[in-house]
Each structure stands twice: as C-alpha cells, then as structure tokens.
Amino acid sequence: MLPRYLGLLPRLAAAAAAAPHPHHPQHAARAAAAWAWPGLAGAPLAGAQRGASGLAAAAPAARGLVRLRYLLGLGGLAAAAQFDALRDEARLGALAVVRLARDVSAAAAIVADYKVSLASAPPSGPERAEALAGCHERGADRLLRLCFANGGIYTKLGQHIGQLDHLLPSQYVVTMREHLLDKCPVSDYAEVAAIIREDLGSPPEELFASFDTQPIASASLAQVHRATGLDGRPLAIKVQHAGLAESCAADIRTIELLVQAARGGGGGE
C-alpha cells in the first residue's frame, strides 16, 4: 500500500497546486485524493488532513520547481540571444578587418608605386609625365580591383570617381567610368531567390506568375528583374545585392577603425 501511495505523490502534489482553495489544505487534500485515488474519496476528513500536511509542503516545492524551470528557460533564451549578438559582432569585426586590410594593401601599393616610379624619373619633362601617367594607370587599376573586391559602398565610390572629370587624373575617371557605371556586379538567381524568400516569406515562383532569372539592370546596391504579378500586371522587381547589409556595417566599422587610428596618431587632436 505504501509504495502505491508514494507513487501517487507527484499527482497529488499537482492536484493540490491546482486546487481552488490554496489557504485550506484539507480541501486540497480531499480534492486531490478524490481525483488520484477514488478509494480515498469517502475517507474521514482526519485522514485527508494527515495527508494534507505532506501536500501542503509538496505544493510550494512543485510551484517553486516550475518557477525555477521558467527562470532557467528565460535565462537560456537570454544567453542564446547574447551569444548570437556576440557571434554577429565577431563576424562583423572579422569582416571589417578583412576589408580594412584590403584598403591598406591597395593604398600602400599605390603610394609605393608613385614614390618609387617618380623617384627614378627626371624632375620634369616628357619622361616624368610618362612615369606619372603610368602611376595613374596602375593606381586606377588597383583602385578598381578594390572596388570589385569590397563591393557595395566601394562600387558607389568608384562610380562617383567616374564622374569627377575635372578633379582627378583622367586615368582614374576613365577606368571607373568604363568598368563601374555600366558593368556593376550581378547577384546570381539563387541569391536573389533567397533574399525574396527571406523578406517576403515565399519564393518568387509563388509570389509572381513569372519571374525573369536574368536581371535587366544592375547597380552598385541592387539589381532589377522583370516579373509578372499574379494579376497579370508587368512588374519590375528591385532586389538588394546579397551581403550588402553586412558589408555596409563592416565599412562603417572600418571607418571607425581608421578614425581611431588617426586620432591615436595625432595625439588625440
């Protein structure tokens, strides 16, 4: 008999915890006994009261266990969210370092080329002009490769350089204009479909009657696809390039690193 009763204690404790009269343990005991063990329904109240002392002690413990599990669950969710935030921050920091390394490498190569090439050239005359033009050409090519490697804001910067005819050497302007104004990077259809699914909840095949997988135009930040709506209307769908949000955030971080370095080198002035 005792093992059977002990085996029912968890059910009795749960019934006591859910009883409508928490301030009267004898009522909780009788209700729990009637639910968990019909043979106790007609037992004297004194017998129920004897069991009530155990239930009264078990019910707060059970409720405390539920609260503990709830708090542990909240703590786990908070820890997971913090871990995701730290992981995203670490990934963003790593991306910023990579892009900063590209910046420094390209800038160092351009500056070194000018110094070395012009140091061996005459101070004036056609030979120096030719050496300077060669530096401009190689510098423009290095800058173009940097724009393609980093993309996003760098592509936009290259396009802007391509319009500064009277401010920069013609080699930079022509190179950027020829390669960036009309020949921007293109995201493949798998990336486009993934972005549409992420933003709109469904793939293009379910959202449109037709969707051209080849873009009709591409710019530094997005590209445009021809599509037909479910109602038959012709549409132009502009889709942001994959990874642009991360690259822009990394570029902001890169600028922060450059500013911090400049302030440190200038003694904080």
Residues 191-246 pLDDT 10s = 999 999 999 999 999 999 999 999 998 887 889 999 999 999 999 999 988 877 77
- Does residue 211 sit in helix, strand or coil? strand
Report the DSSP beta bridge partners of residue 223: 218, 239
Note the pLDDT tens digit of each residue in 33-88.
Answer: 444 444 444 444 444 455 555 545 555 556 666 665 655 565 555 555 454 545 65
Tokens of 252: 């902001």
- Does residue 258 sit in helix, strand or coil? helix
Closest by CA position to 242, among listed 177, 196, 209: 196
- pTM beyond 0.75, yes or no: no
Query: How high is the mean pLDDT of the chain?
Result: 74
DSSP 255: H
Q: How confident is the model at residue 268 (pLDDT cuts 50, 70, 90)?
A: very low
CB distance 28 to 22 below 8 Å: yes
pLDDT computed for residue 58 by the predictor:
55
Q: Which of 38-52, 91-105, 136-150, 219-233 has the lowest average pLDDT?
A: 38-52
Judged against a pLDDT cut of 80, whether residue 252 lies above it is answered with no
Judged against a pLDDT cut of 60, whether residue 121 lies above it is answered with yes
CB distance 144 to 174 below 8 Å: no
Distances (CA, A) of 87 to 82, 96, 103, 212, 245: 8, 14, 24, 36, 16
